């Protein structure tokens, strides 16, 4: 929606410019109206198409850089990922693009256990600038940070109110494990220890990649401590 509004502003600028040029055409250059309008509409269309194309290409290039940086996070190189995202944030232009970069940067802070920094990025991030999957990721990351930073009440409140947003992503091949981990953290905060243990055992079987082992071990230790 915000991207559409941006394009509409470009169109509105073109209309205002056209009104000004009509004034110039009539009062200064005395060009025939029919000839002027012919070239005006051609030039106007090219300006609008060029502006939209530039914006799409600009966002695409940054998206490519963010995907490349994501490989660092998956490899466990958290600080290298954070450095890459912070560098992108400094150079990026536009609120929509900066919102996406901040969202991705928060994942690096979460992975590095710098939860307060992640929260400071996520809490003020306006969801009106985000697509549905990005809105889900914002809430998921924020819930995880709340649970891990001793703010279980905030985590549970956001978790409960976000169920409708989370629902379409629970069976996602990309987000399924993250949703399962969040469910376990919520269950742990609610004292459902036996249920969480069963969920953890199932997660280990289903998503048994080395980079997930630390998360599983940490949750297991929290379960063991809670059961004492």
- Written as tens digits, the pLDDT of the chain (228 aa) is 444 455 455 545 555 555 555 554 455 445 555 555 555 556 556 555 655 665 666 567 777 888 888 999 988 899 999 999 999 999 888 888 899 999 999 999 999 999 999 999 999 998 887 889 999 999 999 999 999 999 999 999 999 999 999 999 998 988 999 999 999 999 999 999 999 999 999 999 999 988 889 999 999 999 998 865
Enter the pTM of the model: 0.76
Structure tokens at 170: 């629970």
Axis-axis angle for helices 115-122, 132-148 (nearest 10): 140
The SS3 call for residue 162 is: coil
Number of neighbours of residue 122 by Cβ within 10 angstroms = 24
Number of neighbours of residue 200 by Cβ within 10 angstroms = 20
Residue 207 Ramachandran class (φ > 0 left, ψ -120 to 50 alpha, else beta): beta
Of 122, 149, 154, nearest to 136 by C-alpha is 122
Residue with token string 């609008």: 48
């Amino acid at each position: 929606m915000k991207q559409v509004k941006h394009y509409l502003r470009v169109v509105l600028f073109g209309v205002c410019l056209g009104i000004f040029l009509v004034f110039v055409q009539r009062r200064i250059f005395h060009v025939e109206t029919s000839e002027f309008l012919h070239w005006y509409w051609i030039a106007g269309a090219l300006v609008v198409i060029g502006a939209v194309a530039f914006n799409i290409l600009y966002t695409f290039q940054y998206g490519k850089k963010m995907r490349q940086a994501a490989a660092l996070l998956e490899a466990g190189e958290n600080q290298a990922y954070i450095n890459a995202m912070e560098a992108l944030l400094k150079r990026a232009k536009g609120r929509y693009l900066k919102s996406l970069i901040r969202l991705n940067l928060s994942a690096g802070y979460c992975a590095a256990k710098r939860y307060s920094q992640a929260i400071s990025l996520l809490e003020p991030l306006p969801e009106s600038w985000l697509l549905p999957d990005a809105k889900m990721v914002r809430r998921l990351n924020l819930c995880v940070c709340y649970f891990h930073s001793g703010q279980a009440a905030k985590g549970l409140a956001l978790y409960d109110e976000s169920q409708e947003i989370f629902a379409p992503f629970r069976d996602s091949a990309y987000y399924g494990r993250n949703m399962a981990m969040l469910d376990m953290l919520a269950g742990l905060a609610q004292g459902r220890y036996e249920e969480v243990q069963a969920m953890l055992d199932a997660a280990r079987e289903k998503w048994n990649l080395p980079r997930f082992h630390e998360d599983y071990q940490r949750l297991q230790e929290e379960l063991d401590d809670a059961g004492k």
